[in-house]
Each structure stands twice: as structure tokens, then as C-alpha cells.
């Protein structure tokens, strides 16, 4: 160990490594953690035949979106890009745009909504003028049109979207894939990120509550409709058929594969529920502490990786880190137990000789 002034590796190296690996190869790491758990005695293959499946939100590292801020940032982005490529704009609206944003925020805070809407219309007007100006200035240059195509398309979406609009919206300019997800939490009605499916064994393994598969679910699908892809993934991970799948009431009306639909049970289900299944349904909240550890200790609570690929990679790597952390604790416990077993074996041999 020695002091050094530079990092051992550049962070872009990890980015390129994640991009080369992809979600499929990263999932192999998760499968390897389960295999090591079985080989070390921390889990049994039968532990993974009964699982709990739940979904959570993996928040993206974005600011809380408001229409005014998105309009303001889109205009700033286009103006900065125009200056970078030598496009002379008629007006940048830098000073008056910032003033309009401040007016909107103050009026909204004071609940003066009519004045706030007036400031919002001003911000939308400034963005529209900049977009049209750039469209005129870059119309004759094919290279500039190609360079401004994606920013202008994103700015047009921000300019066109309205409050309470149905359908997909832009919530962040640097992460347009972010979705608004409502999970019914009183303290956090809306979260901005991607939905993630998590499965864990129904009963705690000897080494802990391992995570079986993790998968990002872009598009904010209904929880029950995610079982069509999640259950086959679990089967591939564990290499055996599932006996029981326990879910919450949000999975009612699921579309699980026909071969596995009979083993799926949701909370508050009455039909076909035996006393054993009723006891297993009471184990459903066991997945909640696992989700909490993934978010608090393994960086699923705020995703800094870019794009859809970053969403999937961050979820899988969080589960991999969680499983290997449990394995390290299990192996450390075995290491502490080994000297005790050796000493007990050494003292047992003389006693056995005298007993004969």
C-alpha cells in the first residue's frame, strides 16, 4: 500500500467495460454468484424453486422536472450548441429567459398561478423563436442539419408537451428515456427512472436472502404483464422449474407463461389457496428489505449510468454486488468457524482413545 496522486484506473475504462459486456454478459455474473452460493453451502438448489417477485423504481440522476425549467434548459442547450457550431442567432434570450424563469418560480411559490402561467408562456415563446431561428440558419447546410436534428427534435417535444398530457413526456434533456412512475407512496407520489423487477427466494437461505434475477422494465409496464419475461429468466438462472411464485396484489391479471401460471399466487387471493400457500403468502414482505439494501448500499437508489443500457447494467450490477457481499460474509463466518472445528477435532481424539 502506498500513496498515489492519480486514480488506479480511469472511470471511462469502466464505462467501456460495461458497454462491451452488455446486460446479457453481466447477467452471467449474477448467475455465477448463485452458483458459488450453492457450492459454498450458503444456499441449496431447492431454495430457488420458491421465489417472491416484486417491482421497484430505480431513480435516475435527474432533477425534479418542471415545465418551466425544461423549457429554459432546452433553450440554453440550443443556444450553446449554436455558438459552438458558429450559427449566429438573432437573439439568445439569455437575460430575459432567466428572468422569466425566476418570475415563474416566485409566482408558483406564492400560488399566483395566473401570473405563473404567463411567465411559462413567455418561456415557451422564447424556445420556439430559438428553434425557428436555428431551423432557418441551418436549412442550407446538410451537416448542420444532421448535427441539430436530435437536439431540435427533443426541444420540439419539450415545446409541445403540456400539463396533464397523456402519453410519454420528456422529463430530462440529458436522459430522455426517464419515465414518471407512481408507486402509491405517500411521501413520494412520483419517481423518475425505470421500473425494475426483483426476485428473491421465498425462504431465507443459510447465507442470506439472495437476489435471483433482476431486470429493468422500460416502458413502465403493468406489473402483471412483466411475468411473461421475468419467469423464464428466473428459470434460466436457476436451471430448474419453479414450484411457487409469490407476488403482491399488483400482479393480478398476470400474463405468466401457461406452464408457470398455475404456480403464481398473488396477495389476497382466495381460490386454490391451501394452508401452506397461505403461510407462504405471509412471507411476501421479505423482499422489501432486499430492495432497501439494493438501493441504500448498492447504488440502485440513484442511477448515474446513461441510457437504457445504463439502466439495465446498474440494476444487474447492484444485484451482483449484493449477492457477493452476502457470500463474503458467509465465507468469513466459515473462516472463523474452521479453527474451532480443528481444535475440537484435536481434543476429541484423545478422549475417544481413553473411552475405549
Q: What is the pLDDT of residues 187-226, one digit of tens each?
A: 888 889 999 999 999 888 888 899 988 989 898 888 888 8
Contact 266, 284 (CB under 8 A): no
Distance CA 144, CA 125 (A): 23
Closest CA to 249 of 230, 272, 265: 265
Average pLDDT rounded to a whole number, residues 1-5? 72
Give CA–CA dist 184/96, Å, rounded: 39
For residue 200, list its beta bridge partners. 52
Tell me what the pLDDT averaged over the chain comes to: 87
Asked if 233 and 206 count as a contact pair (C-beta separation under 8 A), the reply is no
Percent of the residues in the chain that have a pLDDT greater than 90, as a whole number: 33
User: Once rounded to an integer, what is the mean pLDDT over residues 320-344?
Assistant: 80
Residue with cell string 474451532: 340
Contacts of 85 (CB under 8 A, 6+ apart): 144, 147, 148
Beta bridge partners of 53: 199
79 exposed, middle or buried (CB, 10 Å; 0-12, 13-18, 19+)?
buried
> 104 with 120: CB under 8 angstroms?
yes
How is residue 13 written as a grid cell? 475504462
Whole-angstrom Cα distance, residue 289 to residue 301?
13
d(CA 264, CA 254): 9
Taking the domains of the chain in order of start, what are their residue ranges? 11-62+178-332, 67-160
State mean pLDDT over 69-77. Answer: 94
pLDDT (average), residues 65-78: 92
Amino acid at each position: 500500500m502506498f500513496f498515489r496522486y492519480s486514480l488506479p484506473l480511469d472511470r471511462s475504462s469502466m464505462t467501456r467495460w460495461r458497454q462491451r459486456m452488455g446486460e446479457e454478459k453481466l447477467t452471467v455474473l449474477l448467475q455465477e454468484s448463485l452458483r458459488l452460493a450453492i457450492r459454498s453451502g450458503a444456499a441449496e438448489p431447492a431454495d430457488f424453486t420458491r421465489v417472491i417477485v416484486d417491482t421497484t423504481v430505480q431513480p435516475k440522476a435527474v432533477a425534479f422536472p418542471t415545465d418551466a425549467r425544461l423549457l429554459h434548459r432546452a433553450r440554453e442547450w440550443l443556444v450553446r450548441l449554436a455558438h459552438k457550431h458558429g450559427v449566429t442567432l438573432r437573439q439568445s434570450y439569455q437575460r430575459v429567459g432567466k428572468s422569466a424563469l425566476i418570475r415563474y418560480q416566485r409566482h408558483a411559490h406564492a400560488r399566483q398561478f395566473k401570473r405563473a402561467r404567463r411567465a411559462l408562456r413567455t418561456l415557451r415563446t422564447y424556445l420556439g423563436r430559438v428553434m425557428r431561428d436555428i431551423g432557418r440558419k441551418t436549412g442550407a447546410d446538410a451537416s448542420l442539419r444532421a448535427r441539430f436534428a436530435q437536439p431540435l427534435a427533443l426541444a420540439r417535444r419539450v415545446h409541445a408537451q403540456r400539463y396533464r398530457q397523456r402519453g410519454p413526456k420528456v422529463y430530462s434533456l440529458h436522459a430522455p428515456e426517464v419515465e414518471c412512475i407512481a408507486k402509491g407512496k405517500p411521501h413520494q407520489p412520483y419517481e423518475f427512472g425505470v421500473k425494475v423487477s426483483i426476485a428473491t427466494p421465498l425462504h431465507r437461505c443459510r447465507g442470506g436472502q439472495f437476489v435471483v434475477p433482476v431486470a429493468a422494465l422500460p416502458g413502465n409496464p403493468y406489473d402483471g404483464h412483466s411475468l411473461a419475461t421475468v419467469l423464464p429468466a428466473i428459470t434460466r438462472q436457476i436451471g430448474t422449474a419453479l414450484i411457487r411464485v409469490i407476488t403482491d396484489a399488483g400482479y393480478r391479471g398476470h400474463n405468466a407463461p401457461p406452464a408457470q401460471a398455475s404456480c403464481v399466487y398473488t396477495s389476497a387471493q382466495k381460490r386454490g389457496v391451501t394452508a401452506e400457500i397461505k403461510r407462504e403468502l405471509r412471507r411476501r414482505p421479505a423482499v422489501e428489505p432486499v430492495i432497501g439494501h439494493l438501493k441504500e448500499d448498492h447504488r440502485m437508489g440513484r442511477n448515474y449510468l446513461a441510457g437504457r443500457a445504463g439502466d439495465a447494467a446498474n440494476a444487474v450490477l447492484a444485484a451482483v454486488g449484493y449477492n457477493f457481499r452476502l457470500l463474503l460474509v458467509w465465507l468469513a463466518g466459515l473462516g472463523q468457524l474452521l479453527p474451532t472445528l480443528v481444535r475440537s477435532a484435536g481434543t476429541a481424539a484423545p478422549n475417544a482413545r481413553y473411552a475405549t
